[in-house]
Amino acid sequence: MLYLHDVWVNWFEGEENGYNVCAFHEWRKDDTIEVLDQIPVLKVSPALYQRIENDLLPLPKQLLSKVYNKSYMRKNHERISLEYCFIVTDGDGILAVNTIGYDIPVRKSRIIPRQEQLVYDMVAQKDPTFHELPDQEHQNKDYHLYSPSPEDMSGLTRKERQLKKVLYMAMDHLKQNANEAEMRYWCTEWDPTAYEIIQTLSFHQAWNWMYEGVRKGWSHQHAQVTASLIRGQTYLEKLWDLEETSKVR
């Protein structure tokens, strides 16, 4: 089995979408970085890699068995074994995984560029060890406001992705309130030039119109509307402020 040593990881917990597992250049000063003393490296098929990166479905039992207790971290000068912790790659993407004892990829992390290159070199001439998928029928993934599609988040920075989540939470509040006049007001804030069209829309038509408008990308216009939309909503304002003051390493 292949192993990597002294590996820096920045765990993102419970993330089903790979775009939320941030690359090294997006790690922040307040992130908790761990160093793994030893971790096994597995090369798998692209289909299995994509499943692990972008879902929280059970992992193949054979894979879990192969990596069982073969990872270690140091804590207070003690070497502690981790049940199911490993690096997985399809030769294109790389992901560190820690199931914290479960059979699903609960924690996910990228690794630093120098160690990424080491992994690519290690597996370059290797065939995938695992091709099979978990014994569970996989339906088309259902994306929604609290789990936006990769298309919605494509090209955004970590800060922009987080601010867009705040916008989507505010959009969800609008949907729950179902106030037609309020919805038309926010549509007009988003695009004043469409005022006449907006006045003809029902609540659901207006909500969908604004949602389709804000889905793509992130801009100064997105930021302005979101800042206004969340005013007075303490929890969302706090999330907004945390992102605005965050700093990369």
pLDDT tens-place string over residues 108-123: 999 999 999 999 999 9
CA 91 vs. chain centroid, Å, equals: 20
Check whether 21 has a pLDDT greater than 60: yes
Q: What does the pLDDT look like over 81-103, one tens digit per residue?
A: 999 999 999 999 999 999 999 99
What's the average model confidence in pLDDT over 140-151? Answer: 87
The rounded distance, in Å, linking the Cα atoms of 242 and 79 is 35
Which pLDDT value is given to residue 134?
Answer: 52
Q: Is the dihedral of CA 176, 179, 184, 185 positive or negative?
A: negative
Which pLDDT value is given to residue 130?
Answer: 78
Q: What does the pLDDT look like over 32-81, one tens digit per residue?
A: 999 999 999 999 999 999 999 999 999 999 999 999 999 999 888 889 99
Averaged confidence pLDDT in the chain: 93
pTM for the predicted model, two decimal places: 0.89
Angle at 61 between CA 106 and CA 126, to 5 degrees: 90
